[in-house]
């Protein structure tokens, strides 16, 4: 358990790409899954991109390497830290502190009407001491406000019997978002998760009160 105040990367950390990788036959889209296999500093890391479907015979990487019988499970590439975010783990990352300058850039985060602790920092601006927020508090605040946004902007509909019979929805579900609201929700959720990742270095999934199975 790290329980650190500032984010550090290390072997075994799961990551998500913040920028697509395109080089030769390598194509790794935005938010591709990966795992750090080694790092010698806090600037870059060797990342196993296990989210690529290289096990299939027609994958461009597999064909370029002329792999016949061996199972090819992703590739390892060296990636700089600012091009990926570490997947959030509560036990290790909850007390990481983010400056108020950064939190102001995250969707749904506003310093008005908030009741979370401000932690004095070591940096000053115009002679005034700056302050930080803990990641766990930022997540709770944003999730609450995202939930409010969903309630105000998204509409639901009843799930039809044949949709359950086709396996489109679980049997115990009664309602779902309308197609238009589902699209709006997905766009806002992606904007939120990317904004959070880019300004904290951590990737966290926000749900806005909705349940997924």
Contact 99, 109 (CB under 8 A): no
Rg of the chain (C-alpha set)? 21
* pLDDT above 70 (res 3): no
pLDDT tens string 97-145: 999 999 999 999 987 767 899 998 888 878 888 899 999 999 999 999 9
The Cα–Cα gap between 167 and 169 comes to 5
Does residue 213 surpass a pLDDT of 70?
no
More confident residue, 169 or 36: 36
Question: 3-class SS at 168?
Answer: coil
Q: How confident is the model at residue 70 (pLDDT cuts 50, 70, 90)?
A: confident
Provide the whole-model pTM: 0.90
- The residues with which 79 forms a beta bridge, in sequence order, are 45
Q: Provide mean pLDDT across the span 187-207.
A: 97
Give dist(CA 102, CA 132) in Å, integer.
9
Mean per-residue pLDDT, 165-190: 93
Q: What percent of the chain has pLDDT over 90?
A: 69
pLDDT > 80? residue 2: no
Q: Is the pLDDT of residue 28 over 90?
A: yes
pLDDT in tens, 135-165: 999 999 999 999 999 999 999 999 999 988 8
Phi, psi for residue 129 in degrees, rounded to 5? -70, 135
């Amino acid at each position: 358990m790290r329980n650190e105040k500032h984010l550090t990367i290390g072997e075994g950390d799961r990551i998500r790409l913040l920028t697509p990788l395109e080089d030769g036959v390598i194509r790794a889209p935005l938010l591709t899954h990966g795992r750090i296999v080694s790092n010698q500093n806090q600037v870059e890391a060797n990342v196993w991109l296990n989210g690529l479907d290289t096990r299939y015979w027609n994958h461009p990487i597999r064909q370029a390497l002329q792999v016949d019988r061996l199972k090819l499970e992703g590739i390892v590439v060296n990636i700089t830290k600012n091009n990926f975010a570490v997947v959030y783990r509560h036990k290790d990352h909850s007390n990481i502190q983010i400056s108020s300058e950064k939190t102001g850039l995250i969707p749904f985060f506003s310093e008005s009407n908030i009741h979370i602790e401000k932690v004095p920092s070591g940096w000053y601006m115009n002679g005034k001491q700056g302050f930080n927020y803990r990641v766990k508090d930022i997540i709770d605040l944003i999730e609450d406000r995202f939930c409010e946004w969903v309630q105000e902007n998204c509409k639901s509909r009843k799930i039809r019997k044949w949709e359950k019979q086709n396996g489109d929805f679980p049997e115990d579900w009664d309602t779902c978002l309308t197609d238009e609201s589902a699209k709006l929700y997905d766009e806002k959720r992606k904007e939120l998760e990317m904004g959070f990742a880019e300004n904290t270095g951590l990737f966290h999934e926000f749900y806005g009160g909705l349940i997924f199975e």
